[in-house]
Amino acid sequence: MSYLTAIDLWNMARVGQPEPHLDGHFAIVPVTTYDLDENEGTTRLWRVTDVGEKRPITSSARSSSQPALSADGTRLAFIRKPEADAKPQLHLMDLAGGEPECITDLPLGVAAAKWLPDGQGLVVAAPLFDGFPSIAATAEELERRNEAGTEPVATERTVYRFWNRWLVAGEIHHLFRLDVDSQILTDLTPELDRLIALDDVGAVFDVSPDGGEVAFTVDIEPDPRRRVRFAVHTVSIADPSPQLLEPRDSLPAQQFRPRYSPDGRHIAFGEQHEPDYYADQVKLVSFDRETKQKRDLAPWWDRSAGGWEYTVDSDLVLHATDEGSMAVFLLPHGTDTPTQLTAEDYSHGPRPTRGPVWLRTESPARPADVAILAESGIRTVGGFNNAALEDLALGPTAEFTFNGAAGTPIQAHVVYPPGFDGSRKWPLLHNIHGGPHNASGGSWHWRWNTQAFAAAGYVVVTVNFHGSDSFGDDFTRSIRGAWGDKPMQDIMAATDHLLAQGFIDENRMAIAGGSYGGYLVSWLIGHTDRFATAICHAGVTDLLGQWASDVTAGREAAVGGTPWEDLDAVLRWSPVAHTEDMKTPTLVIHGEKDYRVVITQGLVLYGILKQKGVDARLVYYPDEGHWIEKPGNSVHWYNEFLDWLDRYIGNGPTP
């Protein structure tokens, strides 16, 4: 048996969302594997049956993604580059055999596709340039841009970047009807000049059961330069003229993920009501297409709905984070109380069929895999990483609760090193989650893998401090305007709780986190010297500087004020305003293309620490954004991370 390393993580398969046939006997599953020497991954589509048989159905020559099965289960549409340097296009293959056929040639490629019920065509989402709303015009403009090379950027938009990409190129996704036989494309949104999504384009549209209409989301903000605000629209395939589903003056802050009921009468979708607050509770609603009335489907539920799909019986299956984990729920038609279907592990992405519900399930000790949910419970049918896991000694995991800020019960997850002996003293690593509203602990994380940290000889704890979602809306909102207050108290209380157990060496404790987790790291080192070392990845260190972020709307509610109205309120919870006591050795990590937490956030912390004479190291990735995603960079990241911990707190139990 060996201990888990970063190399092992990249030698494992990463299993995507299963797309099952309606009878439930098989699903098409994207599975990505990586070549560390080539520093890239390849996604193949696999046919997995409900009894665990599996085989690849696309080649390893080029990646294939976004599988869409025809209603009769005989044909598969998917997206792939026809050549290595080409744009991704829609391909079609007969599951009985034969080679895939490329059936589109769009200048900017294809993003997603869904079959029409009769199998004669598909609805295709594909980008065109804003201001060039035809395929021919976009192709001509693309040729001009390629010949011109790099050009200056000018914008008047507030939202002009998103995570790691610029939005000013003006790509607008249109919806097309594609006739399979003739391969003729008909633009269903010919005048569209607004975004239909910022990411995951395939989730934002659905086709009615009779094939006559498409529901999708479109940005409706009166001033599109200030923020993005999505609302559900519909368009008739016979008469392409998109219409708002509801009157504009009655719309909430956001609407997303429309899904038609099997009889076509209702459209279910999610809503958020507070503008510019990403963690606002997602309420599930249903719109009656005949009466034009809308109703809340679970008005008293205090969890955020996600991933909903209709069953053949007009019930809804969905997932929701619940007390630090994620579970699948059933909302029967005509009721308003979701019933939890999964109690073990971290389950998500339910896809109902006439038989079982297909989904993915994972845990802190097992990567996500394909599973089915039937009356007998959950059964894993993929097994893509079984062989790799057999040779690894993973650490035991546990969950505990302690009293945090104001005596509130706080949940935490802990991963112990393989071979853990509670009679000895071990170094402690706080794995502080980001968000700040992203509860964690129940899943397998590829980038911040607690098993890999524990395998290196650390007791790893992840605290779902105040502000974490899945514990009720009040708990989530409790840190707004005071980011450093209750979460710091919770981290310190968790430390005391673990020290009281007798197996933690109080002189060998570390804190590490990314994004908001990096914020809390930089806040903590300015207010305590209790930890021997710290690691700040993509960390918010200067709240004033976060007005350079890709998303600035609503920031005043999160941090406590605006610089033009109350600069002192902004600086109150800003780590760079509390640097006088910083003396903890700190590793600072940042990516150049991080537009959510811009690169200067890491550089200013590093510069302050070095000028103060504090031990610090900067690790900079010129080709990465908020996350370290390339295999070679990720291995380097893990090595830097663990080497830094070893330098200051060693690893393994105290001799």
- Computed over every residue of the chain, the mean pLDDT equals 96
543 found inside a domain: yes
Arithmetic mean of pLDDT, 85-96: 96
Amino acid identity, position 86: A
**What tokens does 352 get?**
């109902």
The per-residue pLDDT for range 304-319, each reduced to its tens digit, is: 999 999 999 999 999 9
Which helix H or strand E contains 452, and what residues bound it?
Answer: helix 450-455
Q: Distance between CA atoms of 594 and 621, rounded to whole angstroms?
A: 10
**Does the pLDDT of residue 632 top 90, yes or no?**
yes
Confidence of residue 377 (pLDDT cuts 50, 70, 90): confident
Instruction: Judge contact between 46 and 55, C-beta under 8 A.
Output: yes
**Does the pLDDT of residue 441 top 80, yes or no?**
no
Arithmetic mean of pLDDT, 422-434: 97
State the residue range of the domain holding 560: 394-649
Q: Distance between CA atoms of 216 and 194, rounded to whole angstroms?
A: 12
**What tokens does 186 get?**
């008909």
User: Which parts of 488-569 are beta strand (E)?
Assistant: 504-514, 533-537
Confidence of residue 386 (pLDDT cuts 50, 70, 90): very high
- Give the distance from CA 319 to its chain's centroid: 14
Q: Distance between CA atoms of 295 and 286, rounded to whole angstroms?
A: 6
Q: How many CB atoms lie within 10 A of CB 47?
A: 17
564 found inside a domain: yes
Supply the CATH number for residue 631's domain: 3.40.50.1820
Arithmetic mean of pLDDT, 325-349: 93
408 found inside a domain: yes
441 found inside a domain: yes
354 found inside a domain: no
Q: How many CB atoms lie within 10 A of CB 604?
A: 18
Q: CA torsion sign, 43 to 434 to 349 to 552? A: negative
Arithmetic mean of pLDDT, 40-44: 97
Confidence of residue 384 (pLDDT cuts 50, 70, 90): very high
Please calculate the CA angle 636-433-581 and round it to the nearest 5 degrees.
85
Q: How high is the pLDDT of residue 155?
A: 87
Which helix H or strand E contains 143, and what residues bound it?
Answer: helix 135-148
Classified as helix, coil or strand, 558 is: helix
Confidence of residue 464 (pLDDT cuts 50, 70, 90): very high
Helix, strand, coil percent values for the chain (each to nearest 5): 20, 35, 45
Please calculate the CA angle 401-405-408 and round it to the nearest 5 degrees.
50
**What tokens does 125 get?**
């989402």
Pick the closest to residue 13 from 42, 37, 39, 51 (CA basis). Answer: 42
Q: Distance between CA atoms of 168 and 575, rounded to whole angstroms?
A: 32
The per-residue pLDDT for range 499-533, each reduced to its tens digit, is: 999 999 999 999 999 999 999 999 999 999 999 99
Q: How high is the pLDDT of residue 116?
A: 97
Arithmetic mean of pLDDT, 635-640: 98
The per-residue pLDDT for range 225-261, each reduced to its tens digit, is: 678 999 999 999 998 999 999 999 999 999 999 999 9
Contacts of 623 (CB under 8 A, 6+ apart): 591, 592, 593, 630, 633
In the numeric block, the tokens 């294809």 are attached to 110
Q: What is this structure's pTM? A: 0.96
Confidence of residue 343 (pLDDT cuts 50, 70, 90): confident
**Could you give the percent of the chain with pLDDT greater than 90?**
92
Instruction: Judge contact between 377 and 370, C-beta under 8 A.
Output: no
**Does the pLDDT of residue 222 top 90, yes or no?**
no
Pairing status of strand 14-15 against strand 26-35: antiparallel
CB-based contacts of 289-294 (< 8 A; 24+ apart in sequence)? 289/264, 289/265, 290/265, 294/246
The per-residue pLDDT for range 537-588, each reduced to its tens digit, is: 999 999 999 999 999 999 999 999 999 999 999 999 999 999 999 999 999 9
**Does the pLDDT of residue 646 top 80, yes or no?**
yes
Q: Distance between CA atoms of 551 and 215, rounded to whole angstroms?
A: 27
**Phi, psi of 391, rounded to the nearest 5 degrees:** -95, 5
User: Which parts of 50-183 are beta strand (E)?
Assistant: 54-56, 64-69, 75-80, 89-94, 101-102, 112-115, 121-129, 161-162, 165-166, 171-179
Instruction: Judge contact between 247 and 256, C-beta under 8 A.
Output: no
Amino acid identity, position 9: L
Which helix H or strand E contains 137, and what residues bound it?
Answer: helix 135-148
**Does the pLDDT of residue 97 top 90, yes or no?**
no
What is the DSSP track for 272-339?
A: E-STT-TTS--EEEEEETTT--EEESSTT--S--EEEEE-TTS-EEEEEEETTEEEEEEE-TT----E
339 found inside a domain: no
257 found inside a domain: no
Arithmetic mean of pLDDT, 343-357: 94
Q: How high is the pLDDT of residue 145?
A: 95
Classified as helix, coil or strand, 486 is: helix
The per-residue pLDDT for range 480-501, each reduced to its tens digit, is: 999 999 999 999 999 999 999 9
Helix 486-500 and helix 516-525, axial crossing angle in degrees, nearest 10: 70
Task: Name 318's bridge partners.
Answer: 329
Q: How high is the pLDDT of residue 224?
A: 64
Q: How many domains does the chain have?
A: 1
Task: Name 92's bridge partners.
Answer: 77, 101
Q: Distance between CA atoms of 390 and 381, rounded to whole angstroms?
A: 17
Classified as helix, coil or strand, 56 is: strand
Q: What is the dihedral of CA 60, 66, 71, 75, to 10 degrees?
A: -30
596 found inside a domain: yes
Contacts of 201 (CB under 8 A, 6+ apart): 111, 112, 125, 173
**What tokens does 519 get?**
């914020």
Q: Distance between CA atoms of 52 and 250, rounded to whole angstroms?
A: 48
In the numeric block, the tokens 């309420």 are attached to 283
